[in-house]
Protein backbone atom coordinates (compact mmCIF):
# COMPACT_ATOMS: atom_id res chain seq x y z
CA UNK A 1 0.00 0.00 0.00
CA UNK A 2 1.20 3.53 -0.73
CA UNK A 3 2.51 5.19 2.39
CA UNK A 4 4.44 8.35 1.50
CA UNK A 5 1.65 10.84 2.28
CA UNK A 6 -0.20 8.94 5.00
CA UNK A 7 0.05 10.39 8.49
CA UNK A 8 -0.90 9.11 11.93
CA UNK A 9 -4.18 11.02 11.70
CA UNK A 10 -5.47 8.35 9.30
CA UNK A 11 -5.97 6.00 12.26
CA UNK A 12 -8.40 8.34 14.01
CA UNK A 13 -8.18 9.86 17.49
CA UNK A 14 -8.86 8.96 21.12
CA UNK A 15 -8.76 10.94 24.36
CA UNK A 16 -6.50 9.87 27.20
CA UNK A 17 -8.31 11.78 29.88
CA UNK A 18 -8.28 15.32 28.50
CA UNK A 19 -5.40 14.64 26.10
CA UNK A 20 -6.27 13.94 22.46
CA UNK A 21 -3.94 11.58 20.60
CA UNK A 22 -3.84 9.95 17.20
CA UNK A 23 -4.51 6.23 17.63
CA UNK A 24 -1.28 5.35 15.81
CA UNK A 25 1.57 6.19 18.18
CA UNK A 26 5.18 5.13 18.72
CA UNK A 27 6.87 2.83 21.22
CA UNK A 28 10.40 3.88 22.17
CA UNK A 29 11.80 0.62 23.53
CA UNK A 30 13.41 -0.45 20.24
CA UNK A 31 15.25 2.86 19.91
CA UNK A 32 17.90 1.59 22.29
CA UNK A 33 18.69 -1.28 19.93
CA UNK A 34 17.47 -3.95 22.32
CA UNK A 35 14.76 -4.83 24.78
CA UNK A 36 14.25 -3.22 28.16
CA UNK A 37 16.97 -4.02 30.71
CA UNK A 38 19.16 -5.52 27.96
CA UNK A 39 22.81 -4.45 27.91
CA UNK A 40 23.39 -5.64 24.36
CA UNK A 41 24.46 -3.80 21.22
CA UNK A 42 23.23 -0.18 21.24
CA UNK A 43 21.39 1.40 18.32
CA UNK A 44 22.75 4.15 16.09
CA UNK A 45 22.13 7.35 18.02
CA UNK A 46 21.62 9.76 15.13
CA UNK A 47 19.39 7.33 13.28
CA UNK A 48 17.19 6.92 16.36
CA UNK A 49 16.95 10.69 16.77
CA UNK A 50 15.98 10.96 13.12
CA UNK A 51 13.25 8.34 13.52
CA UNK A 52 11.73 10.23 16.43
CA UNK A 53 11.70 13.52 14.53
CA UNK A 54 10.21 11.84 11.47
CA UNK A 55 7.51 10.24 13.63
CA UNK A 56 6.38 13.65 14.84
CA UNK A 57 6.48 14.97 11.25
CA UNK A 58 4.13 12.11 10.33
CA UNK A 59 1.64 13.18 12.97
CA UNK A 60 2.58 10.84 15.80
CA UNK A 61 1.65 12.63 19.04
CA UNK A 62 1.69 9.71 21.49
CA UNK A 63 5.06 8.24 22.46
CA UNK A 64 5.47 5.41 24.96
CA UNK A 65 8.71 5.20 26.92
CA UNK A 66 10.25 4.34 30.31
CA UNK A 67 13.42 5.09 32.26
CA UNK A 68 14.18 1.36 32.14
CA UNK A 69 14.29 1.34 28.32
CA UNK A 70 18.02 1.38 27.80
CA UNK A 71 20.99 -0.51 26.36
CA UNK A 72 24.68 -0.22 27.12
CA UNK A 73 24.99 3.27 25.60
CA UNK A 74 21.42 4.36 24.87
CA UNK A 75 18.50 5.62 26.94
CA UNK A 76 15.11 5.95 25.23
CA UNK A 77 14.22 8.94 27.40
CA UNK A 78 17.47 10.69 26.60
CA UNK A 79 16.95 10.10 22.87
CA UNK A 80 13.42 11.51 23.07
CA UNK A 81 14.63 14.61 24.92
CA UNK A 82 17.50 15.15 22.48
CA UNK A 83 15.28 14.72 19.42
CA UNK A 84 12.12 16.53 20.42
CA UNK A 85 12.83 19.09 23.17
CA UNK A 86 11.25 21.64 23.32
CA UNK A 87 8.31 19.32 22.90
CA UNK A 88 5.38 20.07 20.56
CA UNK A 89 2.33 21.30 22.47
CA UNK A 90 0.21 18.33 21.39
CA UNK A 91 2.79 15.62 22.14
CA UNK A 92 1.73 13.15 24.84
CA UNK A 93 4.57 11.19 26.41
CA UNK A 94 3.50 8.11 28.35
CA UNK A 95 6.01 6.53 30.72
CA UNK A 96 6.02 3.35 32.79
CA UNK A 97 7.09 2.69 36.35
CA UNK A 98 7.07 -0.42 38.48
CA UNK A 99 10.31 -2.36 38.02
CA UNK A 100 12.72 -1.30 40.77
CA UNK A 101 16.34 -1.55 41.82
CA UNK A 102 17.89 -3.56 44.60
CA UNK A 103 20.50 -1.99 46.94
CA UNK A 104 23.34 -3.15 44.69
CA UNK A 105 21.88 -1.35 41.68
CA UNK A 106 20.41 -4.39 39.95
CA UNK A 107 16.85 -4.65 38.71
CA UNK A 108 13.90 -6.02 40.64
CA UNK A 109 10.60 -6.82 38.94
CA UNK A 110 8.43 -4.84 41.37
CA UNK A 111 9.14 -1.62 43.24
CA UNK A 112 7.60 -0.76 46.57
CA UNK A 113 4.94 1.98 46.59
CA UNK A 114 7.47 4.24 48.34
CA UNK A 115 9.95 3.81 45.46
CA UNK A 116 7.54 5.03 42.80
CA UNK A 117 8.14 8.72 43.51
CA UNK A 118 11.83 8.25 42.74
CA UNK A 119 10.96 6.50 39.49
CA UNK A 120 8.62 9.30 38.46
CA UNK A 121 11.29 11.88 39.30
CA UNK A 122 13.85 9.93 37.27
CA UNK A 123 11.58 10.06 34.22
CA UNK A 124 11.00 13.78 34.78
CA UNK A 125 14.74 14.44 34.95
CA UNK A 126 15.57 12.39 31.87
CA UNK A 127 12.80 13.91 29.78
CA UNK A 128 13.36 17.47 31.02
CA UNK A 129 9.75 17.97 32.11
CA UNK A 130 8.02 19.32 35.19
CA UNK A 131 5.17 16.79 34.92
CA UNK A 132 4.43 13.51 33.15
CA UNK A 133 1.40 13.33 30.86
CA UNK A 134 0.62 9.70 31.62
CA UNK A 135 2.24 7.16 33.93
CA UNK A 136 1.48 3.47 33.51
CA UNK A 137 2.03 1.24 36.51
CA UNK A 138 3.53 -1.99 35.16
CA UNK A 139 2.28 -4.69 37.52
CA UNK A 140 4.21 -7.82 38.36
CA UNK A 141 2.12 -10.93 38.91
CA UNK A 142 -1.53 -11.16 39.85
CA UNK A 143 -1.37 -9.66 43.33
CA UNK A 144 -2.98 -6.48 44.66
CA UNK A 145 -1.91 -3.13 43.22
CA UNK A 146 -4.04 -0.67 45.22
CA UNK A 147 -1.15 0.66 47.31
CA UNK A 148 0.96 1.30 44.21
CA UNK A 149 -1.91 3.07 42.44
CA UNK A 150 -2.55 5.16 45.55
CA UNK A 151 1.11 6.24 45.61
CA UNK A 152 0.85 7.39 41.99
CA UNK A 153 -2.46 9.11 42.71
CA UNK A 154 -0.68 11.13 45.39
CA UNK A 155 1.89 12.21 42.80
CA UNK A 156 -0.94 13.16 40.46
CA UNK A 157 -2.47 15.28 43.22
CA UNK A 158 0.94 16.90 43.72
CA UNK A 159 1.06 17.90 40.04
CA UNK A 160 3.87 15.57 38.98
CA UNK A 161 1.57 13.28 36.99
CA UNK A 162 -1.44 14.18 34.88
CA UNK A 163 -3.10 10.82 34.20
CA UNK A 164 -2.71 7.22 35.39
CA UNK A 165 -2.72 3.93 33.51
CA UNK A 166 -1.94 0.31 34.30
CA UNK A 167 0.10 -2.25 32.40
CA UNK A 168 0.46 -6.02 32.39
CA UNK A 169 -2.73 -6.37 34.43
CA UNK A 170 -5.69 -8.70 34.73
CA UNK A 171 -9.32 -7.48 34.73
CA UNK A 172 -9.58 -7.82 38.50
CA UNK A 173 -6.46 -5.66 38.95
CA UNK A 174 -7.96 -2.96 36.73
CA UNK A 175 -11.14 -3.10 38.81
CA UNK A 176 -9.03 -2.73 41.95
CA UNK A 177 -7.15 0.24 40.52
CA UNK A 178 -10.41 1.97 39.62
CA UNK A 179 -11.49 1.88 43.26
CA UNK A 180 -8.46 4.06 44.04
CA UNK A 181 -8.19 6.51 41.13
CA UNK A 182 -9.35 7.10 37.53
CA UNK A 183 -7.47 5.01 34.97
CA UNK A 184 -7.27 6.22 31.37
CA UNK A 185 -5.56 3.24 29.74
CA UNK A 186 -4.57 -0.40 30.01
CA UNK A 187 -1.33 -1.46 28.35
CA UNK A 188 -1.10 -5.22 27.89
CA UNK A 189 0.38 -7.74 25.48
CA UNK A 190 -2.16 -8.33 22.72
CA UNK A 191 -2.45 -9.15 19.03
CA UNK A 192 -3.66 -11.65 16.48
CA UNK A 193 -4.02 -15.06 18.09
CA UNK A 194 -4.56 -13.81 21.63
CA UNK A 195 -6.82 -16.01 23.78
CA UNK A 196 -10.57 -15.32 24.14
CA UNK A 197 -10.18 -13.75 27.59
CA UNK A 198 -7.80 -11.15 26.13
CA UNK A 199 -10.35 -10.20 23.46
CA UNK A 200 -12.98 -9.89 26.19
CA UNK A 201 -10.71 -7.58 28.20
CA UNK A 202 -10.21 -5.31 25.18
CA UNK A 203 -13.97 -5.07 24.72
CA UNK A 204 -14.52 -4.44 28.45
CA UNK A 205 -12.08 -1.53 28.39
CA UNK A 206 -13.97 0.00 25.50
CA UNK A 207 -17.26 -0.23 27.37
CA UNK A 208 -15.68 1.65 30.27
CA UNK A 209 -14.16 4.33 28.04
CA UNK A 210 -10.64 3.17 28.85
CA UNK A 211 -8.01 3.04 26.12
CA UNK A 212 -6.40 -0.32 25.44
CA UNK A 213 -2.78 0.01 24.29
CA UNK A 214 -1.33 -3.32 23.14
CA UNK A 215 2.38 -4.01 23.11
CA UNK A 216 4.05 -6.58 20.85
CA UNK A 217 1.11 -6.32 18.42
CA UNK A 218 3.55 -6.94 15.56
CA UNK A 219 6.13 -9.17 17.21
CA UNK A 220 3.65 -11.49 18.85
CA UNK A 221 3.39 -13.18 22.20
CA UNK A 222 6.58 -13.79 24.13
CA UNK A 223 8.83 -11.83 21.76
CA UNK A 224 10.38 -9.32 24.16
CA UNK A 225 13.87 -9.91 22.78
CA UNK A 226 13.09 -8.43 19.41
CA UNK A 227 12.22 -11.43 17.26
CA UNK A 228 9.34 -11.01 14.83
CA UNK A 229 6.35 -13.26 14.62
CA UNK A 230 6.13 -16.01 12.02
CA UNK A 231 3.31 -14.95 9.69
CA UNK A 232 0.68 -17.58 9.00
CA UNK A 233 -1.25 -18.17 5.80
CA UNK A 234 -4.14 -15.90 6.80
CA UNK A 235 -1.93 -12.92 7.53
CA UNK A 236 0.05 -13.42 4.31
CA UNK A 237 -3.07 -13.84 2.19
CA UNK A 238 -4.73 -10.71 3.53
CA UNK A 239 -1.50 -8.74 3.19
CA UNK A 240 -1.27 -9.80 -0.45
CA UNK A 241 -4.87 -8.84 -1.13
CA UNK A 242 -4.27 -5.32 0.17
CA UNK A 243 -0.77 -4.83 -1.21
CA UNK A 244 0.42 -4.44 2.38
CA UNK A 245 3.10 -5.98 4.56
CA UNK A 246 2.24 -8.57 7.22
CA UNK A 247 3.25 -6.05 9.90
CA UNK A 248 0.78 -3.53 8.49
CA UNK A 249 -1.98 -6.14 8.56
CA UNK A 250 -1.23 -6.93 12.20
CA UNK A 251 -1.38 -3.24 13.14
CA UNK A 252 -4.53 -2.65 11.10
CA UNK A 253 -6.21 -5.64 12.75
CA UNK A 254 -5.31 -4.26 16.17
CA UNK A 255 -6.79 -0.85 15.35
CA UNK A 256 -9.90 -2.54 13.93
CA UNK A 257 -10.65 -4.07 17.32
CA UNK A 258 -12.31 -0.86 18.47
CA UNK A 259 -11.90 2.91 18.67
CA UNK A 260 -10.46 2.56 22.18
CA UNK A 261 -7.46 0.58 20.86
CA UNK A 262 -4.25 2.55 20.32
CA UNK A 263 -1.16 1.17 18.59
CA UNK A 264 2.42 1.93 19.63
CA UNK A 265 4.67 0.06 17.17
CA UNK A 266 8.33 0.72 17.76
CA UNK A 267 11.23 0.71 15.32
CA UNK A 268 14.63 2.23 14.77
CA UNK A 269 14.23 1.93 10.99
CA UNK A 270 12.87 5.03 9.22
CA UNK A 271 11.37 2.99 6.38
CA UNK A 272 9.54 0.73 8.83
CA UNK A 273 8.29 3.82 10.64
CA UNK A 274 6.62 5.10 7.46
CA UNK A 275 5.08 1.66 6.85
CA UNK A 276 3.78 1.46 10.42
CA UNK A 277 2.15 4.87 10.26
CA UNK A 278 0.57 3.98 6.92
CA UNK A 279 -1.07 0.96 8.54
CA UNK A 280 -3.47 3.39 10.18
CA UNK A 281 -5.12 3.87 6.79
CA UNK A 282 -5.51 0.16 6.05
CA UNK A 283 -9.15 -0.88 6.36
CA UNK A 284 -9.80 -4.58 6.75
CA UNK A 285 -13.20 -6.05 6.01
CA UNK A 286 -15.27 -7.49 8.89
CA UNK A 287 -14.70 -10.93 7.42
CA UNK A 288 -10.94 -10.40 7.40
CA UNK A 289 -11.00 -9.17 10.99
CA UNK A 290 -12.85 -12.31 12.07
CA UNK A 291 -10.51 -14.60 10.10
CA UNK A 292 -7.48 -13.09 11.82
CA UNK A 293 -8.94 -13.02 15.32
CA UNK A 294 -8.12 -16.68 15.94
CA UNK A 295 -5.13 -16.99 13.62
CA UNK A 296 -2.00 -18.13 15.45
CA UNK A 297 1.27 -16.29 15.68
How much of the chain, in percent, has pLDDT values that exceed 70?
89
Domains and CATH numbers, the chain: 8-293 (3.20.20.100)
Q: Of 19-23, 134-138, 176-180, 227-231, where does mean pLDDT reach its minimum?
A: 227-231
Q: Within 13 Å and on the Cβ side, how many CA atoms surround 2?
A: 3
Q: How far is residue 294's CA from residue 274's CA, in Å, rounded to a whole number? A: 28
User: Per residue in 29-49, pLDDT tens?
Assistant: 989 875 554 444 556 899 999
For residue 69, indicate whether it is catalytic.
yes
Q: What does the pLDDT read at residue 34?
A: 53
Q: Which stretches does DSSP call E strand in 1-159?
A: 13-16, 19-22, 26-27, 62-66, 92-97, 100-101, 107-108, 132-138
Residues 191-209 have a mean pLDDT of: 96
Q: Average pLDDT of the chain?
A: 91
User: Using 50, 70 and 90 to split pLDDT, how confident is the model at 222?
Assistant: very low
Helices (H) and strands (E) in the chain, counts: 10, 11
CB atoms within 10 A of CB 238: 25
Q: Within 13 Å and on the Cβ side, how many CA atoms surround 233?
A: 0
CB atoms within 10 A of CB 261: 22
Which residue, among 105, 31, 42, has the nearest Cα to 71 in the 3D structure?
42
User: Per residue in 235-253, pLDDT tens?
Assistant: 999 999 999 999 999 999 9
Its pTM stands at 0.92
Whether 17 contacts 287, CB under 8 Å: no
Give the helix/strand (H/E) hosting 85. none
Q: What does the pLDDT read at residue 109?
A: 87
Residues 16-28 have a mean pLDDT of: 98
Which one of 69, 85, 87, 190 is the catalytic residue? 69
SS3 content of the chain, % helix, strand, coil (to 5): 40, 15, 45
Q: Is the pLDDT of residue 165 over 90?
A: yes
Q: Is the pLDDT of residue 228 over 60?
A: no
Amino acid sequence: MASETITAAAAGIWKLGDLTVNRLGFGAMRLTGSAAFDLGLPSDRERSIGVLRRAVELGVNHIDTAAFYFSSLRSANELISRALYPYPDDLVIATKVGPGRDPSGGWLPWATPQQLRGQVEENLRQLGRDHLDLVNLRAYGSGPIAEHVAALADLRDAGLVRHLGVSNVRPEQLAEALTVAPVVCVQNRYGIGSPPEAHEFVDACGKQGIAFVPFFAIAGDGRERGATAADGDEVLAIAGAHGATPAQVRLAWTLNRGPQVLAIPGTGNPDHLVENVAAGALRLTPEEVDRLKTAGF
